[in-house]
Amino acid sequence: MLIYGDQNVYDAAVKRINFLFDEFETVVVGMSGGKDSTVIFNLCLAIARERNQLPLKVLWIDQEGEWQATVDFNEWIMTHPDVEPMWFQMPMLITNNASSFDRYAYCWKEGEEWIHDKHPLSIKENVYGVDRFHDLFEAIFTHHFPNQSACYISGVRTEENIKRLVALTHQLTYKWITWGKKYNKAIEHYAFYPIYDWSYRDVWKAIHNNKWKYNPIYNRMYQLGKSIYSMRVSNLHHETAVQDLLMLQEIEPETWEKMAKRIKGANTISHLNEASFRCPKELPYMFQSWEEYACHLINNIIQEEKHVKMLQGQIKRMSAIYTDIEINNTMWQKVINTVLSSDWDFTKLHNWELGSPINAYRSVKKGTSKRENFHKDINSRYMTPELQHKLIKFFEHDESN
């Protein structure tokens, strides 16, 4: 449930960021080149300037497989006179969702032709003891700020991601704050997301009202009809952005040529269309059920046995819960999405299960949901009309028994 107050989100974010500057010896701003991190950077820069706490530390973990426009925009930020750059161009493993055969891409591998050149300002050696992208943030903080409290400020928002909404609103992270994450409580290292409650409209309003420079790739995506909710400007072969490879060839042909040589599976993606990454609306005629279709894809697309076993574990767990035929079919459709996008972190499955509609279904099954609560949940904006109909049908059948 959303609770509205008298303060607008812009002023709330400024207040939150000032609080973080008060609390922590070191403040580091995260930059990806996207619209959300652009807002965070500009808010923090203005506050640091007002507080006479320049230069502002700005961190970017460059994943090599980036839009050239993103690289150029981030270079402008990293060379800003009021910025202390923490630009990492070092060996690391990145999930490669462009291929069913090669799970990871090894970024910045020595002796290979990189997608873009390393910058003189960047940190090029990985001395942090980990090589996975999400593990690097905590490790970097531990290495660089071992004896001081430090916080990482990022532009994570909850608007489109139920998993994030739950994570950033259900328990305390630091003092009264829920919108954060603990890196290492013992040495007071945290990550915070002060614009977690902004909508994309708030983001673009702030950018345009303040005339902040932003990544121009958004303009090209908009011109090509890309959905506002699906615009991604960072790593091009991640599960949430791999579809952007379809427009890379048109927008940045030189980057495309380098990507096709460097990232396995990228060239295959170019011959597909956007619908190739998601479950079709109609069951293909040669299959008798969504389960049969999903099993066919599992047997013929997934290349590594460990991923098959991981997915089978998820299916076994979910099949015991989602037994009603309509909801079970929806579950199998989400499994199909997972296979088609090579999502072995199961982000799509977890987001589906965390959504209000499926929570409502589980509550009904457990006997813990009353009719009024159930209908409130299924009217969530995250629910499709088709799933709403299925849940109402299930609820009415359950009550009649």
For the entire predicted model, the pTM comes to 0.74
Residue 83, pLDDT > 90, answer yes
Q: Enter the DSSP assignment of 174.
A: B
- Percent of the chain's residues with pLDDT above 70: 81
Q: Enter the DSSP assignment of 277.
A: G
What pLDDT, on a 0 to 100 scale, did the predictor assign at position 392? 58
What pLDDT, on a 0 to 100 scale, did the predictor assign at position 100? 52
Given the structure tokens 């009353």, which residue do they identify?
370
Rounded to an integer, the average pLDDT of 63-87 is: 96
Residue 391, pLDDT > 70, answer no
8, 15, 56, 50: which is closest to 177 by C-alpha?
Answer: 15
For 236-269, the pLDDT digits (tens) are: 765 555 566 778 877 888 987 888 777 655 555 4
Report, in angstroms and rounded to the nearest whole number, the Rg of the chain calculated over CA atoms.
23
Rounded to an integer, the average pLDDT of 301-320 is: 89
For 4-32, the pLDDT digits (tens) are: 678 899 999 999 999 999 999 999 999 99
pLDDT-derived band at 150 (thresholds 50, 70, 90) equals: very high
**In the chain, where are the structural domains located?**
1-276, 290-400
Q: Which residues contact 358 (CB under 8 A, 6 or more apart)?
A: 327, 352
For 274-284, the pLDDT digits (tens) are: 555 567 888 98
Three-state DSSP class for residue 149 = coil
CA–CA dist 290, 213 (Å, integer): 47
User: Which of 73-82, 111-120, 158-167 has the weakest average pLDDT?
Assistant: 158-167
Q: Which helix (H) or strand (E) covers residue 142, if one does? A: helix 133-144
CA–CA dist 36, 285 (Å, integer): 43
The answer to whether 128 and 93 are in contact (CB under 8 A) is: no
For 263-276, the pLDDT digits (tens) are: 655 555 444 445 55
Burial 297-326 (b: 16+ CB within 10 A, else e): ebeeebeeeebeeebeebbeebeeebebeb
CA–CA dist 190, 182 (Å, integer): 5
Burial class (CB in 10 A: 0-12, 13-18, 19+), 172: exposed
Q: Enter the DSSP assignment of 118.
A: P
Residue 40, pLDDT > 80, answer yes
- Residue of higher predicted confidence among 317 and 166: 317
163, 261, 218: which is closest to 35 by C-alpha?
Answer: 218
What pLDDT, on a 0 to 100 scale, did the predictor assign at position 395? 53
Q: What is the mean pLDDT of the chain?
A: 83
Q: Which residues contact 127 (CB under 8 A, 6 or more apart)?
A: 143
pLDDT-derived band at 294 (thresholds 50, 70, 90) equals: very high
What pLDDT, on a 0 to 100 scale, did the predictor assign at position 235? 79
User: Which of 14-18, 231-235, 293-297, 392-396 has the weakest average pLDDT?
Assistant: 392-396
Burial class (CB in 10 A: 0-12, 13-18, 19+), 351: middle
- Residue of higher predicted confidence among 91 and 398: 91
What pLDDT, on a 0 to 100 scale, did the predictor assign at position 399? 42
Q: Across 49-58, 163-172, 360-369, which has the greatest mean pLDDT?
A: 49-58
- Tell me which of 3.40.50.2300, 3.30.450.40, 1.10.10.10, 3.40.50.620 is the CATH number of domain 1-276: 3.40.50.620
Amino acid at position 137, single letter: F
Residues across the chain: 401
